[in-house]
Amino acid sequence: MSLRLDQLLKACTVKVEISKGKSYGTGFFFAPKLILTCAHVIKKSVGEFVEIFPDGYAHPIQAQIKHCFSKEIDLAILQTYVEDSFPCVYLGTGIQPRDLCYTYGYTDDKEGFPEGDPVTLECEGLTGGSIQRIKLKGGQVRPGLSGSPLLNQSSGKVCGVIKFSRGLSSDLGGGAVPVDLIFSELPALEKLHNDFHKSDTRWSELLDYDAEAFDSDWTYLDWGWQRFGNYFKALWFLLKVAFKWIILGLKAPRAFPLRTITSLIEHTFKGDLGQEIKRQRKELTHRLNLEVDLEGCGQAKILNELDSQAGVLTQLIDMLISEDQDLASTSRLLWVTEVLYEQRSLIRELKKNDGNSYPRLESFKKRFKIFNEAEDNNYIIADRIVGKLVVRHTNSNFILEHSFKSFLIELLERIKDNPKLTLMYTEKIFIFLIPKFRDLTPNAASSIETILSDLEEEIKRNPKLKIIKKIQLLLEAVSGELVQGGPFRALNQTGVYHFSRKCNRYPERVKPEEMKEILCYNTRKEAEQKHRACKICLSFESLSSNDIEFMGEEPTAY
């Protein structure tokens, strides 16, 4: 059975002992044979050895100090030479204020737990200064926790290393060093870390692999952004679904997740429906990853539950996407619906296995049309095609990944490859659009504006066809202008610069009003005076070495 994240985190930790039974701290494996801890824990120089006790080990293992970072960063890397294979934590850089965190280490024997001590904390944010710290509250950080991995429970990844306490005998919390400092100084380690998790999937299987929409995107589905009519429609939709599930449940008891509907109805009245949809979507993904056997049979109950839940969430998101939202936010939420579509496709394939569906239930749904949840397949195909194009050709910064011409070619190829898209309304849409697309070039801004104006009229006449709205989003995206300036580019309000056109956040083409937000530099040196390099861009550069014996410049001991 798969371990939970807290159990897997514990298995990655080691007690770092300096003097026999008197002075110790914590460390953790983050790449094969490599351990991360705080430099102030080991109090020795590069090349010397310390003793570590992996979780469950009664006898110590020798570990050599391979690298010490600066005193301000206060981190050190140890290396073991034993044949034993240990799990490694999954490192990730993202953390936001109010994210809940968890750590596990080996605290002092006076008031702590030297055989293992779990602590929960809450992030208050990042401190200022050239080297930031993650400020934490709400937990007791005792001596010995220095060097412990800080797990962000929102992302499921280790985002920092515990460094200090704000009160040894209180629950004032403490502080941690962000892990992105490691890879920025020693980029070869990132490849070692990533290669390990490609071959050992114990940790990655517990993560959401689909891209998560930002918190600000989900707030668009909350009451503050929604018209009363939209929330009323959502409530009416949920009540109808609840009625159907109760009736269908007579044919297959406990096969429908009524708690899904009751919770969504409750949060509809509370006005935070977006936050509940976000929570349930993550819950669905975790259950699909952990509880469903891709080769198994006899899983009718859970598959029917997940399929039903995914269908409700997909329709709710589509129903609540607002015309007042910006393009980036809409694109990210459309990505979520695409992920839900993919999950439903997988579930329906699994239902074909023996014992993975309810024959009586399926027969009953076919007999009575009111209970048949099958949607118009042609419309779904068309909707998904355009939805994928929206996601592919737009991103969080309104930046185009491809030219308008490549978008046009791809759209026409998708239509040609799906000859079943001949329903009257989808055919009407494409007959209306295709002739206008054919003669356009990336510079034909006036022609695009004409199409956008025509689309506004089509949207008014066909408000239920969300697919037209998606096409409008695409055209708004491709009507951007090429960014002029140096190849090293950054958005004004971020601390990251981009330099690879393979990166989908590289500012290649943007909306005119966003042009002033793009900063361009002729050299990397100029860009690095105010920004740090984008890790996606860096990943497209070949690393000089992935040999763990060599990790950057010769370290300075202290």
Q: How many helices (H) and strands (E) does the chain have?
A: 18, 18
69 found inside a domain: yes
Distance CA 26, CA 17 (A): 8
Distance CA 21, CA 145 (A): 15
Do 238 and 299 have their domain in common? yes
Regarding pTM above 0.75, the answer is no
Q: Is 263 exposed, middle or buried (0-12, 13-18, 19+ CB in 10 A)?
A: middle
Top mean pLDDT of 58-67, 192-201, 279-288, 436-445 is at 58-67
Using the 8-state DSSP alphabet, how is residue 458 labeled? H
90 found inside a domain: no
Q: Out of 317, 347, 374, pick the residue that ends a domain.
A: 374
Using the 8-state DSSP alphabet, how is residue 170 labeled? S
Using the 8-state DSSP alphabet, how is residue 409 labeled? H
500 found inside a domain: yes
Do 493 and 466 have their domain in common? no
Q: What is the pLDDT of residues 415-434, one digit of tens each?
A: 556 655 544 445 445 545 54
Binned at pLDDT 50, 70 and 90, residue 472 comes out as: low
544 found inside a domain: no
Order the strands of the 532-533 sheet from edge to edge.
518-521, 488-491, 496-498, 532-533
The predicted structure's pLDDT at residue 542: 44
Q: Which residues contact 7 (CB under 8 A, 6 or more apart)?
A: none
Short-list 185, 162, 170, 105, CA closest to 139? 170
Q: Out of 350, 374, 398, pick the residue that ends a domain.
A: 374
Binned at pLDDT 50, 70 and 90, residue 23 comes out as: low
Pairing of strands 532-533, 496-498: parallel
Count of domains forming the chain: 5
304 found inside a domain: yes
Do 222 and 316 have their domain in common? yes
Do 60 and 111 have their domain in common? no
Q: Which residues contact 153 (CB under 8 A, 6 or more apart)?
A: 5, 99, 100, 101, 102
Higher pLDDT: 190 or 36? It is: 36
Do 413 and 350 have their domain in common? no
- What SS3 class is residue 27? strand
Higher pLDDT: 449 or 266? It is: 266
Q: Out of 47, 80, 113, pick the residue that ends a domain.
A: 80
Q: Is 250 exposed, middle or buried (0-12, 13-18, 19+ CB in 10 A)?
A: exposed
The predicted structure's pLDDT at residue 375: 47
The predicted structure's pLDDT at residue 201: 79
Bridge partners of 521, per DSSP, are 488
The predicted structure's pLDDT at residue 212: 58
User: Does the structure show a pLDDT above 80 at 405?
Assistant: no
- According to DSSP H, which parts of 394-423 are helical? 404-417
Report DSSP letters for 304-324, one per residue.
HHHHHHHHHHHHHHHHH--TT
User: Does the structure show a pLDDT above 70 at 232?
Assistant: yes
90-94, 136-140, 315-319, 389-393: range with lowest mean pLDDT: 389-393
Q: What is the mean predicted confidence (pLDDT) over 286-309?
A: 85
The predicted structure's pLDDT at residue 506: 79
CA 327: distance to chain centroid?
A: 19
The predicted structure's pLDDT at residue 100: 82
Q: What are the phi and psi torsion angles at 35 (to 5°)?
A: -120, 140
Do 493 and 454 have their domain in common? no
Do 253 and 265 have their domain in common? yes
Whether the CB-CB separation of 445 and 404 falls below 8 Å is answered with: no
The predicted structure's pLDDT at residue 2: 53
Binned at pLDDT 50, 70 and 90, residue 12 comes out as: very high
547 found inside a domain: no
The predicted structure's pLDDT at residue 383: 64
Do 242 and 140 have their domain in common? no
549 found inside a domain: no
User: Does the structure show a pLDDT above 90 at 91?
Assistant: yes
The predicted structure's pLDDT at residue 483: 79
Do 52 and 64 have their domain in common? yes
Structural domain span for residue 506: 483-539
The predicted structure's pLDDT at residue 103: 94
Distance CA 245, CA 237 (A): 12
Q: To the nearest whole percent, how much of the chain has pLDDT over 70?
A: 70
553 found inside a domain: no
Q: What is the domain-level CATH number for residue 196?
A: 2.40.10.10
Distance CA 230, CA 223 (A): 9
Do 336 and 427 have their domain in common? no
> Angle 250-253-254 (CA atoms, 0-180°, nearest 5)?
135
Do 368 and 250 have their domain in common? yes
User: Does the structure show a pLDDT above 60 at 436?
Assistant: no
Distance CA 191, CA 173 (A): 32
Tell me the two tokens of residue 347. Answer: 């579930």
Do 343 and 214 have their domain in common? yes
Distance CA 88, CA 11 (A): 8
Short-list 179, 163, 154, CA closest to 34? 179
Report DSSP letters for 186-220, one per residue.
-THHHHHHHHHHHH--TTGGGS--SPPPPHHHHHT
